[in-house]
Copies of this chain bind each other. A is one copy, B any other.
Amino acid sequence: MRVALLGGTGDIGEGLALRWARETDHEIVVGSRKAEKAADKAAEYEAELADRGLDREVAGLPNEAAAKGADLVVLSVPPQYAADTVEGIAEALAEDAILVSPAVGMTRDEDGFHYNPPPNADSVTEYVAEAAPDRVSVVGAFHNISANRLADLDEDLDADILVLGGEKDEDAKETVRDLTRAIPGLRPVDAGPLSNAHEVEGITPLLINIAMHNDDMSHVGVTFH
């Protein structure tokens, strides 16, 4: 499987690229708006994996080239660029590609972070689904995992990943669940259709607030049981 991480030069994309490169045999492609940044980051990830004795190829390409032929594309971009990024790669996307949306809109004031969905949408995930071509499956996932913890390969993870998607995209959800299980310490939990994304995305600012207000908690994750 070819997995493209758009915005894979930072945030959640960095951790997913490194972890999937280490834990799976999938082809890993890092995408960025800038070709040079993508290539630099891909080389950096290869070097980090080589340091750990892992001879692993990671490609770095501009977003559209990264998405071309990918079976699964993760949109690890700031929420305000999510729709534009989808439109920019729409033609390059394979017929049955899976588009994964992990982005969350937030604002910050003196009280802390607050959930802030895009204008005229209830969640970023639904906003991405609206912008995506009908032929692809849109799945929401990885909204609530700490980017710092994920990108630190020495860190043991213990978190649930809420996976969102409609019934018609059940196969795509299962692929995302499989990729989640491939990373030790992550467990996929089905959160139902995309219309539940509001409540899932809202957990992300809450996790930051919890880290701010509790001395012994940082880079907090969430589990359900």
Contact = CB atoms under 8 A, between A and B. Distances in A.
Contacts of A147: none
A106 to B, nearest CB: 10
Per assembly, the copies of the chain total: 2
A189 B202 contact: no
A198 B203 CA distance: 10
A70 interface: no
A20 to B, nearest CB: 24
* A contact patch SS: mixed
Contacts of A222: 222-224
A221 interface: yes
Residues of A in contact with B, size category: 20 to 34
A115 B84 CA distance: 28
Given A189-B217, A221-B224, 4 more contacts: A196-B206, A199-B206, A200-B206, A202-B203
